[in-house]
Amino acid sequence: MQSQTSRLLLCLGVFVVVANTTFAQQIDSPADKAARQVFEKQINEYVDLRKKVSANAPRLSKDSTPEQLNAYRTALEDALRNARAGAKRGDLFRPETAAYIRRILKNEFQGKDRRDLRDAVFETETQGVVLRVNYPYAQSAELSEMPATLLASLPQLPKEVRYRFVGRNMLLVDRESNVIIDYMPDALP
């Protein structure tokens, strides 16, 4: 009986995520679709650059020590910073993309579930995180987990990149090096 209930809840959760994604896609205007496409193209260009940079980074084995892991992360971080020497805030979160994402966030943070979603985003301790493009997200800071319903509505990211919140700011962070790729101030309503 419990397994049937679990399966039912899982199916209901999947339905909500799919319905949410479908709804978000239905309300996209032509300008929103264009902003999404430009954003996804820029993210893919970053991933291509990242692949080229990581090909020159030191190799890790499955038996790598913490020191070797740290050296790898530092080498990747430095190589990404050098490859994106002119990177600045707003390179990926261009005004049209930022406006589009802010509308999605505003929509997602409406209604009775707003408090739960807000609590999930703000429960993470991120005070003291310095927002600076091309520099790492502080390893000492907690990583905020993105609610699944929110991820379903936002433009999908490749596995190498993730969204993060620091306060009301939205970040794009390299998953492996923790480098902040870009950030959008005051993203949350």
User: Residue 57 CA to chain centroid, in angstroms?
Assistant: 23
Domain ranges of the chain: 16-184
Mean pLDDT of 146-150: 78
- pLDDT tens-digit readout, 115-136: 666 666 666 655 667 889 998 8
CA distance 75 to 64: 15
Is residue 57 within 8 Å of 76, Cβ to Cβ? yes
User: pLDDT band at residue 6, thresholds of 50, 70 and 90?
Assistant: very low
pLDDT attached to residue 70? 84
- pLDDT tens-digit readout, 82-97: 999 999 999 999 999 9
With 0-12 CB in 10 A as exposed, 13-18 as middle and 19+ as buried, what is 121?
buried
Is residue 157 within 8 Å of 144, Cβ to Cβ? no
